Chain A
Amino acid sequence: GAGVSQSPRYKVAKRGQDVALRCDPISGHVSLFWYQQALGQGPEFLTYFQNEAQLDKSGLPSDRFFAERPEGSVSTLKIQRTQQEDSAVYLCASRPFQGPSYEQYFGPGTRLTVT
């Protein structure tokens, strides 16, 4: 079946612009995660949804970052007034069930470059 998809795959933004990154999880997956991966680093957690509820946003680096999942499927990560330090790959992952032991399935990521 189809995996997690993300769009756009690449995004170049000028400093100060707003961007919106989309994630389509695997159909029926309850949980959805966003991670930020800087060059040469491991992914770092940003936020987590269970259905439409955002249960953990402790990893969002500033109030310029906002995520939503209004109908419990597609999610959008929005970054306002982008800064150069926001340049990274943004990874989305989904998981079929609630529960700690299930693995997360990752999308290909969106590479954001802020110039």
Chain B
Amino acid sequence: AQKVTQAQTEISVVEKEDVTLDCVYETRDTTYYLFWYKQPPSGELVFLIRRNSFDEQNEISGRYSWNFQKSTSSFNFTITASQVVDSAVYFCALKFSEGGSEKLVFGKGTKLTVNP
């Protein structure tokens, strides 16, 4: 099965706390791509990061960091020193290669609320 699981439905933190959003994926493919998107209340999905299955190097971008571990099929996302503007629904997504498919398979999302 090609599947993405985001077990955390909702997370609430106080501003400046660090928060980690979990993502676990399933795929039969050896070549695949993982993505994180942010969906603020306005509704538009905003691309955050892309990772391919051959690159397990973790990445940091400002307050955002991503931990990709093939051994546990996880691609977790950490926000350091969270801010109110980080409040949104965050989606992890998988793009696999079987059959030449181009679609993204999304998890159900984690709603993050950062309180002042």
Partners in one complex: yes
| Max chain B Cβ within 10 angstroms of own Cβ: one of A3, A41, A104, A109 | A104
Given A101-B52, A108-B42, check contact A41 B108 (CB 8 Å).
yes
Cβ contacts under 8 Å, A33 to chain B: 102-104
| Max chain B Cβ within 10 angstroms of own Cβ: one of A44, A100, A102, A105 | A100
With the chains together, A89 CA to B105 CA distance in Å? 16
Q: Is the CB of A103 within 8 A of B102?
A: no
Q: Is the CB of B44 within 8 A of A56?
A: no
Contact of A55 among B37, B91, B102, B107 (CB under 8 A): B102
Q: How far is the CB of A67 from chain B (nearest CB, A)?
A: 14
Given A101-B50, A101-B52, check contact A89 B109 (CB 8 Å).
no
B interface size (C-beta, 8 A): 26
**For the complex, is B97 an interface residue (Cβ under 8 Å from A)?**
yes
Q: How far is the CB of A39 from chain B (nearest CB, A)?
A: 11
Q: Is the CB of B102 within 8 A of A43?
A: no
- Residue in A closest to B108 when the chains form the complex, CB atoms: A42
Q: Is the CB of A101 within 8 A of B33?
A: yes
With the chains together, A59 CA to B93 CA distance in Å? 16
Contact of B104 among A3, A40, A104 (CB under 8 A): A104
With the chains together, A106 CA to B40 CA distance in Å? 12
**For the complex, is B77 an interface residue (Cβ under 8 Å from A)?**
no
CB pairs A–B below 8 angstroms (7 shown): A40-B109, A41-B108, A41-B109, A42-B108, A45-B105, A108-B43, A111-B43
